[in-house]
Amino acid sequence: MSTLLSVVVPMYNEEAVVPALVERLRPVLDGLGIAYEVVAVDDGSADRTAALLFEHGRTWPELRLVKLRRNSGHQAALTAGLQRSRGDWVVSIDADLQDPPEAIAEMLRVARDRGVDVVYGVRSDRSTDTAFKRHTAGAYYRLMRRLVGAEVPAQAGDFRLLSREVVEVLKVLPERTPVYRLLVPSLGFSSAAVPYVRERRVAGETKYPLRRMVALAWNSAADFSAAPLRIATWLGGLAFVSCLGLMVFGVVVWANGTVIPGWTSLFLAVLLLSAVQLICLGLLGEYVARIYRTVQNRPTFHVEFDSAAEPAAAAAR
């Protein structure tokens, strides 16, 4: 029997979450009455996440463990899961159970009934998040919709359902640092949305602290827009206008016969121009670095083993 549904779950140091995830996810998928698989991607965890997943796989044959050799990041782990998935439909969901597995059945029903290729899980209620997280998330989606386009659904993270056609397209794209919450809408496939209430993390700590949130925002902007380079252009124009103002000021003062210490104006002009030049060079360097990584064509992750393809190797570990 061919696999109808694949559920991809990226994990990093989630040993405290694994038991609750299995206890809640398995009844939901068994209740669908279809052939399915769960592709749990261990993103180089330093705890017992992989060991616990393999133990649960002994009694849950649909559970596959794909272990990466090192921590490669959430989006890279998600990419590994998408590439290894075999289902006609593929759902991606985080392990912390903030996105309810029970919504998977509704997402699959909507996809079939409406004939769409993508179904987004949209957070209709984020009251369980902190006020800081809610406001920064709202600012992120407003910025992305302005930079990338209105097709980016608001409050839709990485909880989504994709058809096999969409997955195959994603697999051949030459993206080095994919941000799927922007990449998937940009493809233009027909879509729908399923609202849900975001829940509290069942255990452990968030894997998206402020540092990673900022990195996600930067990757989103740099990968899908040239706006940062335009910022450099605007800064250069502002510096030019400021220098013109200083020149006019200097001529007026000279015409009035006022003596000005020359070092002050020189210091301000050099300081302003140097700051703008460094900012522009930094922005250009970020884009050149992305070109360099693309030209190198090095894989963003390395799969150590897949319990479905290498059961003997997995058992030895």
3-state secondary structure 232-296: HHHHHHHHHHHHHHHHHHHHHHHHCCCCCCHHHHHHHHHHHHHHHHHHHHHHHHHHHHHHHHHHH
**pTM of the predicted model as reported, rounded to 2 decimal places:** 0.71
Q: What percent of the chain has pLDDT over 90?
A: 39
**Closest Cα partner for 106 from 31, 46, 200, 208?**
31
- pLDDT exceeds cutoff 90 at 126: no
Q: What angle do CA 66, 71, 73 make, to 5 degrees?
A: 95
Query: Burial of 82 by CB count in 10 Å (0-12 exposed, 13-18 middle, 19+ buried)?
Result: buried
Nearest to 308 by CA among 90, 64, 2: 64
The confidence score (pLDDT) of residue 53 equals: 93
Q: Is the pLDDT of residue 130 over 70?
A: no
List, in sequence order, every beta strand (DSSP E) within the chain: 5-11, 36-42, 63-68, 89-92, 118-125, 156-163, 191-197, 303-306
Tell me the C-alpha to C-alpha distance, in Å, between residue 57 and each of 20, 42, 50, 64. 14, 14, 10, 7
- Encoded tokens for 226: 């040239």
pLDDT at 209: 60
Kindly report, residue by residue over 25-76, the tens digit of the pLDDT. 999 999 999 999 999 999 999 999 999 998 999 999 999 999 999 888 888 8
What is the pLDDT at residue 183?
Answer: 84
pLDDT digits (tens, 9 = 90+) for 291-310: 766 675 656 667 777 777 76
152-157, Cβ contacts within 8 angstroms, sequence gap of 24 or more = 152/181, 152/182, 152/185, 153/120, 153/122, 153/185, 153/191, 153/193, 154/122, 155/122, 155/123, 155/124, 155/126, 156/120, 156/121, 156/122, 156/123, 156/181, 156/193, 157/94, 157/99, 157/121, 157/123, 157/181
pLDDT at 257 over 80: no
Cβ atoms of 16 and 75 closer than 8 Å: no
Reported as a single tens digit per residue, the pLDDT across 211-241 is 666 766 666 666 666 666 666 667 766 766 7
Q: Residue 73 in 3-state DSSP?
A: coil
CB 85 within 8 A of CB 4: no
The mean pLDDT value of the chain amounts to 80
Winning range, highest mean pLDDT, from 136-140, 178-182, 269-273: 178-182
Q: What pLDDT is attached to residue 165?
A: 95
